[in-house]
Chains A and B, each alone.
Chain A
Amino acid sequence: MNATRLVSGVLILCGSIACAGPGNGASAPQGEGPPLERMLIAPQVGKMGAPVEVRYSLPPQLAKDQPATLDLAFVPQAEGTNLRVEFPANEAASLGKGAEGMRVGKAQAASVHRLELGITPRQAATGEVRVLVSIDVGNARYAGLYSVPLGSRLSR
């Protein structure tokens, strides 16, 4: 069944369904961190989002109250300025290093901007880290909220 169109028998417009999979590939140097192509795409939540692809990589296993590193990569899909990354409060994990987010003055299309985020999962089996991204493109500003699911990696 197509999850986009038939979610519990309802039609959803501007809905929050998304899925992992390769999007527009970035060709710029990737810098340090996991290879971009091996990172998962963070789904964007809800209404019109930011033209930024967000990828993430987590350790195979996470444990409650055990610190870990969430590798994030931000790939603008258009040339822009004022790329901002923030982390709204969440219940799934406490945030450490990198929690202050990131700001990039000029961001080329397909450039890769990385951030290591220290996380300590609080819950045993559920939750997500949310990433708020905005960018100015031309005369406009776009924003989107992305979700990095932790649940499936947490040991119970």
Chain B
Amino acid sequence: MCYKPSHRNSCRECRVRDARIASGFRGVALAVGLVAIHSCGGGGGGGDGPDLAPTPAPNVALTGRIFYERVPLSATGRGLDYAAIVAEPARGVLVEAINTANGSVITTTSTLTTCAGDISCPGRYTLTVPANTSVQVRVRAEMVRAAPEPLPRWRFSVRDIDTSPTPFVYDSPAIQVGTSAVTSDVTIPSGWSNSGQSVGIRHAAPFAILDTVYRSYQFILAVEPNADFPALTLDWSSLNLGFDTFYTSELNGSNPRIVISGEVNVDTDEYDPHVVAHEFGHYIENQFSRSDSIGGPHSITQLLDPRVAFGEGFGYAFAAMVLNDPVARDSFGNRQGNDSFFSVEENAPAGAPRGWYGEASNWIILWDLFDSASDFDDVAFGFGPIWQVLRGSQRDTEALTTVFPFIRALKEQNAAFAAQIDAIVTRQSIASSVIDDYGTLEINDADEPHVLPIYTPIVLDGGPVTVTSINTFGTPNKLSNARFLRLNLPAARTVRFQITADPGRDADAYVYRRGAVVASGELLGNDDFSTALNAGTHIIEVYDCDNGGCGTGVAQASNITVTVSTN
């Protein structure tokens, strides 16, 4: 860290600076260093005069609060209300003092979130900067608590991954710091006028997104105080297309990312907390629990693959829990003047199928287990018991992640409330009283012969088993597009899988062990593959490619015969 000019053999000032750095004043020391470097290298021959260190410039406190402009939702169904734009504190975001002379970062801090009894606390920052310096306050669209800080830790950042490897920032105008403390509030503009006209860059959007993330991770910390959140990128841009908000990660869960729409007059999501919290729910489920959902399009009336139904149902219920608001809203349309809306509290949404395959049934169950409103349910678990199941049994189940293992475990862990849980689940036409991870005794077949059993048993060397992939409920992620088989291996061994499609059809297969793909067959037509498997239950997913989204032909009912054998 010491700048050592070549014409001098020693640099006392630099040693002083190093000591300051070691004492923990790193940012300040750097700033002082800039001054001292000048002293150290300049002046041209101090000669033999007294070797007196110059008096370091005093430090000055630069304080203030960071706000961002939020465009709130208007009355239900009317989208965003630009006339009611409000400045809200930016909680827990990174703030830097920038030396305007050279653009260097002098020091960094995070804005405060809450302080008991002090309503002026959220968004407050305090930076220590050298006196007589021109600085800018740079607000980074990033919330970080990292090592060596003890748990909990997190790193949430908003950036446009197409254009920048670093988070969005907002720079205040230059502030001339003298020799006494300075207060400077910063309000990050929305870029919208009160009449809904675009008047500038939408600087506030990333910070509005982060505020919903703040609420979401705080909700998790309430049940897991030492959570270690994997770094999450929130990819927002005014060029991100409308209606294309989603969560994604690599298949092993790495590089989690939430993409958020920003297309004006079609769909912007930065001011839709339910949308952001919903996607954060996918992140939480994927990173802390397990999600076997295959994703894809979905709507309220559709009968979905049960993995999708649970994942989407959890997302909507989670958002309602975080925001303590059961009405999900999503602004869209010309001038963001419309919004879609529905309530997770409504027990029988019009048009929604009841059953383990309906996303509404899944969110209704989860919300009713959580909430304290007494409608048809007598339990108010809060999030703790739900989180316990997600972190434990649901993550480790040998079945796929659907409502079945979740409810089975919840009942086991809260046996005193089993009857009340059954009442909630049974209202959604799910056989709760006899539930197991596989829905073995489920009788809700959606009036379709190729739905039950949810998992068809198959035995090693037990001969072929035929199931039918259907498109009755649409494609490519709808009920019974994919069919599941359950294979139990008493000991580790190599197993051969033969997947035979109807003539002219293309059948594919995945083999899962606790949700992880351990083998697959994805050739055109039939598949025949062998793999070494551990002991335990394995799930085989098979589907006709034209029903499952990978084909280019016509979707239709198609038989698939599976044989599992020793080599």
Contact = CB atoms under 8 A, between A and B. Distances in A.
Interface stretch (A2-10, A27-35, A55-63): A2-10
Interface stretch (A65-73, A92-100, A114-122, A140-148): A140-148
A105 interface: no
B267 interface: yes
B543 interface: yes
A45 B343 contact: no
A140 B343 contact: yes
Contacts of A49: 243, 297-299
Interface in A73-127: 77-80, 86, 88-89, 109
Given A13-B293, A51-B351, A77-B299, A19 B475 contact: yes
Given A3-B549, A4-B296, A22-B471, A14 B242 contact: no
A37 to B, nearest CB: 11
Contacts of B263: 88
A48 B249 CA distance: 19
Nearest to A45: B243
Given A21-B554, A51-B301, A86-B333, A16 B340 contact: no
Contacts of A48: 298-300, 312, 340, 359
Nearest to B266: A88
A46 to B, nearest CB: 4
Contacts of B265: 88-89
A23 B470 CA distance: 11
Interface in B531-552: 543, 545-551
A11 B554 CA distance: 25
A21 B26 CA distance: 62
Given A11-B286, A77-B351, A50 B299 contact: yes
Contacts of A21: 471, 474-476, 546-547, 554-555
B266 A145 contact: yes
Interface of A: 1-6, 9-19, 21-24, 43-51, 77-80, 86, 88-89, 109, 130, 132, 134, 137-145
30 contacts: A2-B476, A2-B508, A2-B549, A11-B286, A12-B296, A13-B291, A13-B312, A15-B295, A15-B296, A17-B297, A19-B549, A21-B471, A21-B474, A21-B476, A21-B555, A22-B471, A24-B474, A45-B241, A45-B243, A47-B278, A48-B340, A51-B300, A79-B350, A132-B266, A137-B350, A139-B350, A140-B350, A143-B340, A145-B242, A145-B243
